[in-house]
Amino acid sequence: MDRSSRQPDDVFGGEGRDVVSPRAARALWWGSAGVVLAVLGTSVLVAGAEHGRRLPVAVALVLAQACALRWQARAPVTVLAVNAATGLAVWALLTAVTLTGALLAAQVGLCVVSAIRPRRESVRALAVMCLPAPLAFGAGGGSGLTVYVLAVVLAWTAGQWRRAQQARTRAELRRAVVEERARIAREVHDVVAHSLSVMVIQAGAADDVFTQRPEQARQALQAIETGARSALGELRMVLRAFRWDVDDDGAGEQREPGPSLARLDELADTVRATGMTVNVHREGAIEGLPATVDLAAYRIVQEALTNTLRHAAGADVVSVRVTAEGGCVKITVADNGLTAHSSSAVVGAGRGLVGMRERARLVGGSLRAGPLPGGGYEVVARLPVERAS
């Protein structure tokens, strides 16, 4: 589970598109603008100390570059062009500033273009950024040319690295979604197969007593109708999202009780065996839930407890609360961990959150997860309930 409470809220997200969340865009702007103002702004102030008339114009151009970076996540190519033009203007006004430094904001823009725009477009941007190379050679000789070309190529390469990194992360998450959906579908198949097995037995019993005891046969038929409606509802829920084949696995055989909120204490005991204190609270009537909702709720609690054990540093107490309220089941799992898991576990942990969200989505519910203000981490799921009659 991603203990940052979100899918990777990365600066360079999306499938080769400039899809960046508002929060990530603000972080990108503040970070890049701070670098430009600190590095280029300082260079301009130092180099322009002896050029009283040019200094205000150069400072204004630097500020314009920093402001333009505000839109680099939304229109990276346009921002790159603006910052390249203003950077060249700064260099023309104050030749003491190196061309590499004057085009720092443009290099940041090239990195963003390389990361979030199609590769062909970023290669064109790289070629355009290499056009001022002769100016760097004329101003600084071979060393000036080398520094400029290296800076531009490194900016483009950094964007490509980020792009590849995010592509790998997306592939991992997509694979996790597919695997989780297959597992959910098979578990629901087990639930439905059990219902159908019971219906077959009831139908046989009704046939045996149909003539001699019609009232008993009628009761069996009513039970068959109720079970069939429940099974059909569960099948529709699954088939809306999945299409897969199942093998005959002997569904009519006797089986042990499957995962259910009724076995929540057993689940808590397995975690307590590790030395963790687990407090379980139930509120409202949670019996008689539809099998799919019951299974989803159990698996969400199970995954949340597993990730507490794996990723909640310093956690020794976890609270599980299951509440039936307002036509839904609310599940809350909170621990007292000191910190979130390390970045090295992001991909593996992210699969857990993907799985829980898929389970909640499958039954029409929602799930959120994130750190608590006073420390610790919390997972909250709401699953709608349509109780069987």
Q: What is the pLDDT of residues 274-289, one digit of tens each?
A: 778 899 999 887 777 8
Domain-terminating residue out of 156, 171, 186: 171
Would you say residue 136 has pLDDT above 60? yes
DSSP category for residue 331:
E
Q: Where residue 231 falls among pLDDT bands split at 50, 70, 90? A: low
Residues 36 and 161 in one domain: yes
Is a pLDDT exceeding 50 seen at residue 301?
yes
Distance from C-alpha of 96 to C-alpha of 93, rounded to nearest angstrom = 9
pLDDT over 70 (residue 18): no
Q: What is the pLDDT of residues 334-359, one digit of tens each?
A: 998 875 443 333 444 456 777 788 88
One domain for residues 29 and 157? yes
Calpha distance 225→213 (Å, rounded): 19
The whole-number pLDDT of residue 67 equals: 92
Q: Mean pLDDT, to the nearest integer, of 188-201?
A: 64
Instruction: Tell me if 15 is assigned to some domain.
Output: no
Question: DSSP letter at 6?
Answer: S
Q: Please tell me whether residues 31 and 150 are part of one structural domain.
A: yes
299-329 as b/e: b if 16+ CB within 10 A:
bbbbbbbebbeebbeebeebbbbbbbeeebb
Query: Are 133 and 273 in the same domain?
Result: no
Tell me the pLDDT band of 11, cut-offs 50, 70 and 90: very low
Q: Which whole-number Å values give the CA distances from 2 to 6, 297, 340, 350, in the listed order?
A: 7, 19, 9, 4
For 141, the domain range is 22-171
pLDDT > 90: percent of the chain:
22
**pLDDT higher than threshold 80 for residue 194:** no
When divided into structural domains, the chain yields a total of: 2
Domain boundary among 171, 203, 232: 171
pLDDT at 148 over 60: yes
- CB 125 within 8 Å of CB 113: yes
Query: What confidence score (pLDDT) does residue 285 get?
Result: 78
pTM over 0.75: no
pLDDT at 210: 76
